[in-house]
Structure 1
Amino acid sequence: MSGKESFHDQPAHEEDPARKSPLWKRIGWLVTIWAGSVFVLFIFASLLRMFMTAAGMKSH
């Protein structure tokens, strides 16, 4: 090739750095990101409901 290393030129024994972290840490990040997205969705829905109520739309 042109002398530059590519992704495919890495030795097979070098693993992805994300794989080296413990399973509990990876699951912790997954749960944290999921909980954060649920919280942001709750805030957005609450603000939307507040604005709709202020505009005179009521959910009865």
Structure 2
Amino acid sequence: MTGEPDVQVKKPLWQRLGWLVLIWLASVATLGVAAWLMRLFMAAAGLTTH
């Protein structure tokens, strides 16, 4: 131990919110791709979503 205090530097609010929005967008896009692939496979199997 060096005796120096643990100083945690907080990132700016806009940067923290930016990461939150980026993670949210990535999760929404992933769910959209998963839903699209499921519809694709269902259509290939002869199932439709009329």
Question: One fold, TM greater than 0.5?
Answer: yes
Structure 1 residues without counterparts, runs of 5 or longer:
6-10
**Which whole-Å deviations, capped at 9, do the CAs of 1:14-36 have from their partners, x for residues lacking one?**
3x34x2x1000000000000000
Segments ≥4 residues shifted beyond 3 Å: none
Structure 2 residues without counterparts, runs of 5 or longer:
none
| Aligned-residue CA RMSD (Å) | 1.8
Q: 1:59 Cα deviation (Å)?
A: 1.1
1:30 pairs with 2:49: no
Structure label with greater radius of gyration: 1
Higher relative contact order (CA 8 A, sep 6+): 2
Normalised TM-score (structure 1): 0.69
Normalised TM-score (structure 2): 0.81
